[in-house]
Chain A
Amino acid sequence: MEREKGEVWIFAEQEDGVLNDVALELLGKGRELADTLGVPLAAVLLGSGVEGLAAKLFEHGADKVRLVDDPALKNYQNRSYREVMIELIEEVKPQICVYGATSLGRDLAPSIASALRCGLTADCTELGIGSYTDPVTKEEFANLLLQCRPAFGGNIIATIVNPRNWPQMATVREGVMKLPDATPGKTGELVRHEAKCLATLELPVEVLEVVRAAKSVNLKGARIIVAGGAGVGSAENFKLLHELADVLGGTVGGTRAAVDLGYCEHERQIGQTGVTVRPALYIACGISGAIQHLAGMQESQKIIAINTDKEAPIFSVAHYGIVGDLNDVLPKMIKAIKAKAAV
């Protein structure tokens, strides 16, 4: 069938002419999907004066870069980007289109899905290709995009498919897919598109001012993370984690429960709907180990878990465990590190 020859697309998000890392991460996974399907991998790049970014996309695995370069696309706006993407998708008919689950991606992707009446799975932690049999009609579908995301409750991963309404679309958070190695000098086909819709488009929004906040917390780049959960008990106790992080030269993170309880800032949330991290050392304090949290940290090289409950699931991903009260263990740890440092 014709539609099965469709390309695999990743949306190459850029801001002020700088590619978002997530675009390159998606190329790594996109490459695997495209190779399994035997179709080209294309990065879709929208913006103004952004042609120069194509080289980097090729080097990270894109066979094609589909470029819409237009002054009207200088700044992201839902209406313009949405209309251009819809026009492009209807013209080229990709079978898969994956977006970064960034603020921009989460604004754009659902609008496109709504207009095209196709499915969209948010915050996937894994993507693959596989078959699906409709349990009612017994109809079989080969080579579908399998969209995995941790599901509500228990330790469960749900796999979502969109067998009928294509393109198959998903979003993936930053840091979830591994950044592929670049192949310096690798090139590909640059396809320039004119978006006809731009000629007549009236934008309902005028951007008056943009204020970029300096990022105060950099979890993604941290080598050591000290993370706390609801078990920390209070914002006051959370200071112990900061103290430990300070002596280790690490960064403090938290679970959603810790954020909801006001123990730490939202930007420190680690997990499916927070940041995904892969530090050399992850110290989990008072964290039960819910699947949505594990999704964001289980690739850490060494995991230490401190929890009063020896049955807590966090221990099954940990390399070192201490069953005990963190208010007792953390001061001991700080003391031991200071003592070793003094030697």
Chain B
Amino acid sequence: MGYNCVVCIKQVPDTGKVTGDAMKADGTINRAALPAIFNPEDRNALEAALRVRDAHGGTVTVVTMGLPAACAILREALMCGADKAYLVTDRRAAASDTLATSYILSQAVKKLNPDLVFCGRQAIDGDTAQTGPQIAEKLGATLVTYLEDLEIRDGFAYATRNIGTGTEKVKAKLPALFTVMEKCGELRPEQVRLAMKYKKARAPMELAKETAEAEYEALKAKGLDIGQWNLDDIGCDLSRCGKAGSPTLVNKIVNVVLAGGEFQEFQPTDEDVAKLVGSLIADHTIG
């Protein structure tokens, strides 16, 4: 019969490479200062969806909300085997916090009417892990967080969850939303054939304005179109999007002045190291 799977994927700055002035004065991230990558756990989420399709048939659709540059990860997903990709992009969505983001994404996901939705457990730029649970609440879908393993049987999801102090096996009704952990499995590599094909896939906003319409029609004919939605296309109530729909505000940003207490430097020599160890023993810190 097959299941329709939707995977929410996010392009994030590679926080492993944070240097210097990654923050702007208003508290938002200066994304331009960092390389942008496919959020690690969203890769695992995509793999989990692809495995459901491998086992049961159906489709895997990836959705991202962001700037047109985020199409890079949509193409990556297509090259790994996703069937269809959508970009949700709209200036009115800017400055959305997790509540507004989850509302917008839930509106996009609703349009695709999935049986299973997959999110990463968390995105490495904020580590909030809030978006998945909030999308599930808005969809009225069963929430299954911290997924480590999944099997679909008789129309139910049999899932293993990591609950911090151990694991839990649950049987969940569909439709369900899963937040996926690394343990679910590494994303399969891009397939050469798909990579050749989808490197040409584009969303309308990525095309030159003058020729966009004709070009996009041509892409559609070849199945190389990345779907593009604005907030109206997915029926958003604008009061719930962007700044207006975000209850949390950044009040202030302070630079941390590190408490420079008493500090003693030792040289990396045998004598000095022994002296340091001696003073730790003397004040009973060790020993």
Chain A residues near B (Cβ < 8 Å): 15, 78-79, 82, 102-104, 106-107, 109-111, 113-115, 117-123, 132, 146, 150-165, 204-213, 215, 224, 248, 257, 260, 272-273, 280-281, 290-291, 294, 298, 301-302, 304, 313, 315-325, 328-329, 332-333, 335-337, 339-341
Contacts and interface: CB of A to CB of B under 8 A. Distances in A.
A122 B255 contact: no
Q: Which 7 A-B pairs have the closest CB atoms?
A: A153-B22, A324-B268, A103-B164, A119-B247, A316-B258, A119-B248, A114-B134
B252 A204 contact: no
B168 A333 contact: no
A204 B23 contact: no
Contacts, number: 249
Contacts of B246: 119
A266 B86 CA distance: 33
B166 A340 contact: no
B92 interface: no
Nearest to B130: A110
A340 B287 contact: yes
Interface string B124-142: 0111111111101110001
Contact of A318 (B126, B142, B162, B263): B263
A62 B258 CA distance: 34
Q: Please classify the interface of chain A as helix (H, G, I), strand (E, B), loop, or mixed, using the class held by over half of its residues.
A: mixed
B220 to A, nearest CB: 35
Give the residue among B137, B246, B272, B278 with the most A Cβ atoms within 10 A.
B137
A291 B15 CA distance: 13
Nearest to A207: B170
29 contacts: A15-B165, A103-B145, A104-B163, A106-B145, A109-B130, A114-B133, A114-B138, A117-B99, A119-B247, A151-B253, A152-B13, A153-B18, A153-B20, A155-B258, A162-B247, A162-B248, A204-B142, A205-B142, A205-B173, A208-B158, A210-B167, A281-B280, A315-B263, A320-B266, A320-B276, A332-B268, A336-B273, A340-B277, A340-B287
A114 B168 contact: no
Contact of A205 (B15, B170, B258): B170
Interface of B: 13, 15-16, 18, 20-23, 27, 29-30, 97-99, 102, 125-134, 136-138, 142-146, 158, 162-173, 176, 240, 246-256, 258-270, 272-274, 276-278, 280-281, 285-287
Given A110-B129, A206-B171, A302 B280 contact: yes
A171 B134 CA distance: 15
Contacts of A215: 165
Given A155-B256, A157-B253, A329 B273 contact: yes
Q: Please classify the interface of chain B as helix (H, G, I), strand (E, B), loop, or mixed, using the class held by over half of its residues.
A: mixed
Contact of A111 (B137, B169, B270): B137
A114 B29 contact: no
A211 B265 contact: no
Contacts of A328: 268
A281 B248 contact: no
A248 to B, nearest CB: 6
